[in-house]
């Protein structure tokens, strides 16, 4: 443990126990960074109330027993009882030196690994992925990568919408148009148009305005699908396969780690549904209401205060999205043995999830699994509404991503790179910029999709951070030293060196904050501040200038190596590509 806040917290806690006894052993020492010192312990004020003593006396008692030999260079009580702690330069150097050459940038593999299924992306078959799916894909992927990096067992679960009544009409439509036709291939290239064509046929046929008995056939097809008729299932499989091609195209454009083996769609739970409904009914947890099988959980009321049910079997015998999510959590608890089940899903689905989860809990199927809804906020257009094209149709994701890469290409146009390098950098900057914009906003807040801001080379953006790594590499090139050869111990003399080193020591704690709350934006903020600390350092501390003594140069190169490693590792777990040059 080298995070200064954690080290000081532990020492202050020990001093509290020594001064006031074991009763106060668990007291939060309230450690905060401060403008008057590196860290401030603010525990004396709350503790003084419990002890009925003057806060300043309490602070003095703690300081008298505080053992920070070698860690702090000064400890002072100020104001009504704040404890100001300045860390010793030597201690900071001794903590940051072991990070030189550490590819994990100080982050240990956890000794308490958890099993964590992560539900993310989860688009719908024969539908366009929209920007909402884009966001759950990017946030979920960052969480999954970070969890794996820390040593947890992450089970990616792409809960695609691959089942339900619309599949009757979709299958009929596919059978009619054929797969290798332009209309069939829409499934891969423009799934919404495929869906709309099927829908239009269905509606026309309903109204007797053409397409014969299409609607009747579509309805029969649903029944055949549910009865697992082999020929129907085969067409359904092909339909899903063609959608997979579309999803994978987007995933590979995005550098997202999802593969076909992570698919765990709604259809996977089909066989569990009748048994779940029967058991819930037998045990009296579900009751028939108006012909439908419903679960009434406490605390859910509709607009008029009437109890709100989770319908698990409709009056026509069909199961719905809610039933599937009951089965889904049961499966993640009992079959995957999840410690924590993370669902990265739009905020509006909170009620739905909570009703399903309460049902699982009441049935006693949840075990020790902690379900967690990582709520995702909307992505807005510059008109402040949910992002759509001008014609009001949902925006095509592939086109949006292509535009990001094209715009990025313009940024690096005149830097003299050959065509291939330019393409690589443009991809990294364009896609990285879009992903970073998604990640750097708190996941439950809305944000406005704005290419100019996403691709800006300054500010809290992906390109700014990518550029910081490229600058560090170029410092090494100019110094004629390879990154791997920077192995010197780090010494600290200048304030900017000190600030950079102190910031580096916080990285492991930030990783844990990302995992605890599914908050990748905290890592973004951290990396942005790190890049700023690097910029200040490089402005104030010359590295390879002739007047710099060789030991100082080597120490500074080593510090830069740790900075580069931390930036690259941090961007890596966020899923942001890092080009070597920019």
Q: Which stretch binds ligand ARG (CB under 6 A): 116-124, 139-147, 270-278, 374-382?
A: 116-124
Closest-CA residue to 275 (of 339, 363, 157, 162): 363
Q: Which stretch binds ligand ARG (CB under 6 A): 118-126, 162-170, 290-298, 525-533?
A: 118-126
Closest-CA residue to 298 (of 378, 389, 362, 377): 362
The rounded distance, in Å, linking the Cα atoms of 151 and 83 is: 36
Instruction: Quote the tokens at residue 194.
Output: 């495929």
Under rule CB under 6 A, which residues in 510-569 are in contact with ligand ARG? none
Query: Counting contacts by CB under 6 A, is residue 40 touching ligand ARG?
Result: no
Largest Cα–Cα separation, the chain: 90
Nearest CB to ligand ARG, comparing residues 253 and 328: 328
Nearest CB to ligand ARG, comparing residues 133 and 506: 133
Instruction: Quote the tokens at residue 402.
Output: 């292509």
Nearest CB to ligand ARG, comparing residues 269 and 476: 269
Query: Counting contacts by CB under 6 A, is residue 122 touching ligand ARG?
Result: yes
Minimum distance of ligand ARG from residue 126's CB (angstroms): 12
Query: Counting contacts by CB under 6 A, is residue 325 touching ligand ARG?
Result: yes
Nearest CB to ligand ARG, comparing residues 157 and 491: 157
Minimum distance of ligand ARG from residue 576's CB (angstroms): 24
Among 145, 152, 156, 159, binds ligand ARG (CB under 6 A): 159
The rounded distance, in Å, linking the Cα atoms of 330 and 339 is: 13
Which residue blocks in 150-181 are alpha helix, DSSP H? 166-177
Query: Counting contacts by CB under 6 A, is residue 48 touching ligand ARG?
Result: no
Bridge partners (DSSP) of residue 373 are 343
The rounded distance, in Å, linking the Cα atoms of 27 and 40 is: 15
Q: Which stretch binds ligand ARG (CB under 6 A): 122-130, 298-306, 331-339, 398-406?
A: 122-130
Q: Which stretch binds ligand ARG (CB under 6 A): 119-127, 144-152, 286-294, 472-480?
A: 119-127
Nearest CB to ligand ARG, comparing residues 259 and 493: 259
Handedness of CA 34, 37, 39, 44 (dihedral sign): negative
Among 37, 218, 345, 455, binds ligand ARG (CB under 6 A): 345
Nearest CB to ligand ARG, comparing residues 81 and 161: 161
DSSP 8-state symbol, 179: S
Query: Counting contacts by CB under 6 A, is residue 328 touching ligand ARG?
Result: yes
Closest-CA residue to 140 (of 162, 128, 158, 125): 158
Q: How many residues bind ligand ARG (CB under 6 A)?
A: 10
Nearest CB to ligand ARG, comparing residues 31 and 326: 326
- CB neighbour burial string for 188-205, b if at least 16 within 10 angstroms, e if fewer: beebbebbebbeebbeeb
Minimum distance of ligand ARG from residue 397's CB (angstroms): 13
Instruction: Quote the tokens at residue 370.
Output: 């902690």
Nearest CB to ligand ARG, comparing residues 346 and 381: 346
Query: Counting contacts by CB under 6 A, is residue 166 touching ligand ARG?
Result: no
Nearest CB to ligand ARG, comparing residues 102 and 190: 190
CB 440 within 8 A of CB 471: no
172 Cβ partners below 8 Å, 6+ apart? 198, 214, 217, 218, 221
Annotate 405-469 with three-state secondary structure: HHHHHHHHHHHCCCHHHHHHHHHHHHHHHHHHHHHHCCCCCCEECCHHHHCCCCCCCHHHHHHHH
Q: Which stretch binds ligand ARG (CB under 6 A): 41-49, 82-90, 115-123, 170-178?
A: 115-123
Minimum distance of ligand ARG from residue 128's CB (angstroms): 11
Strands 340-346 and 115-119: parallel
Query: Counting contacts by CB under 6 A, is residue 221 touching ligand ARG?
Result: no
The rounded distance, in Å, linking the Cα atoms of 321 and 312 is: 8
- CB neighbour burial string for 229-243, b if at least 16 within 10 angstroms, e if fewer: eeebeebbebbbebb
Among 29, 161, 191, 575, binds ligand ARG (CB under 6 A): 161
Q: Which residue ranges make up the site for ligand ARG (CB under 6 A)?
A: 119, 122-124, 159, 161, 325, 328, 343, 345
């Amino acid at each position: 443990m080298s995070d200064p806040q954690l080290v000081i917290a532990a020492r202050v806690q020990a001093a509290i126990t020594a001064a006031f006894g074991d009763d106060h052993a668990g007291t939060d020492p309230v450690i905060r960074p401060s403008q008057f010192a590196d860290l401030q312990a603010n525990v004396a004020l709350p503790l003084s109330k419990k002890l009925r003593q003057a806060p300043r006396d309490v602070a003095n008692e703690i300081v008298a027993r505080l053992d920070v030999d070698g860690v702090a260079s000064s400890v002072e009580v100020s104001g009504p009882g704040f404890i100001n702690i300045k860390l010793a330069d030597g201690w900071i150097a001794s903590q940051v030196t072991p990070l030189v050459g550490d590819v994990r940038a100080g982050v240990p593999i956890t000794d308490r690994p958890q099993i964590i299924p992560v539900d993310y992306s989860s688009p719908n078959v024969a539908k366009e992925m929209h920007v909402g799916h884009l966001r759950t894909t990017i946030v979920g992927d960052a969480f999954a990568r970070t969890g794996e990096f820390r040593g947890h067992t992450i089970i990616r679960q792409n809960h695609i919408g691959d089942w339900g009544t619309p599949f009757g009409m979709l299958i009929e439509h596919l059978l009619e148009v054929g797969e290798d036709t332009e209309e069939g291939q829409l499934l891969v290239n423009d799934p919404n148009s495929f869906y709309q064509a099927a829908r239009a046929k269905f509606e026309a046929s309903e109204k007797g305005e053409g397409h014969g008995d299409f609607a009747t056939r579509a309805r029969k097809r649903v029944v055949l699908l549910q009865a697992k008729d082999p020929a129907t299932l085969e067409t359904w499989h092909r339909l899903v396969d063609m959608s997979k091609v579309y999803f994978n195209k987007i995933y590979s454009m995005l550098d997202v780690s999802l593969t076909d083996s992570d698919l765990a769609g709604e259809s996977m739970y089909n066989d569990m549904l009748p048994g779940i409904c029967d058991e819930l009914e037998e045990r009296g947890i579900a009751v028939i209401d108006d012909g439908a099988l419903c679960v009434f959980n406490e605390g859910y009321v509709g607009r008029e205060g009437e109890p709100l049910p989770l319908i698990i079997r409709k009056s026509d015998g069909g199961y719905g999205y809610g039933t599937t999510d009951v089965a889904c959590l049961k499966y993640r608890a009992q079959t995957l043995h999840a410690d924590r089940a993370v669902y990265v899903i739009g905020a509006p689905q909170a009620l739905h999830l909570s009703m399903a989860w309460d049902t699982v809990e009441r049935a006693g199927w949840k075990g020790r699994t902690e379900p967690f809804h990582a709520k995702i906020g909307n992505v807005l257009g510059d008109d402040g509404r949910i992002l759509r094209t001008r014609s009001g149709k949902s925006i095509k994701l592939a086109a949006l991503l292509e535009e990001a890469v094209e715009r990025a290409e313009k940024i690096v146009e005149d830097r003299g790179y050959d065509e291939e390098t330019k393409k690589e950098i443009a991809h990294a900057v364009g896609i990285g910029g879009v992903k970073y914009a998604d990640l750097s906003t708190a996941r439950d807040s809305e944000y406005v999709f704005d290419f100019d801001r996403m691709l800006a080379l300054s500010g809290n953006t992906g390109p700014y951070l990518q550029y910081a790594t490229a600058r560090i590499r170029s410092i090494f090139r100019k110094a004629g030293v390879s990154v791997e050869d920077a192995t010197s111990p780090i010494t600290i003399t200048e304030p900017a060196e000190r600030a950079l080193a102190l910031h580096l020591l916080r990285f492991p704690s930030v990783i844990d904050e990302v995992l605890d709350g599914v908050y990748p934006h905290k890592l973004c903020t951290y990396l942005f501040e790190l890049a700023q600390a690097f910029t200040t350092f490089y402005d104030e501390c010359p590295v390879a200038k002739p007047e710099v003594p060789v030991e100082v140069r080597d120490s500074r190169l080593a510090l830069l190596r740790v900075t580069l490693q931390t930036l690259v590792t941090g961007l890596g777990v966020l899923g942001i590509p890092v080009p070597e040059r920019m």
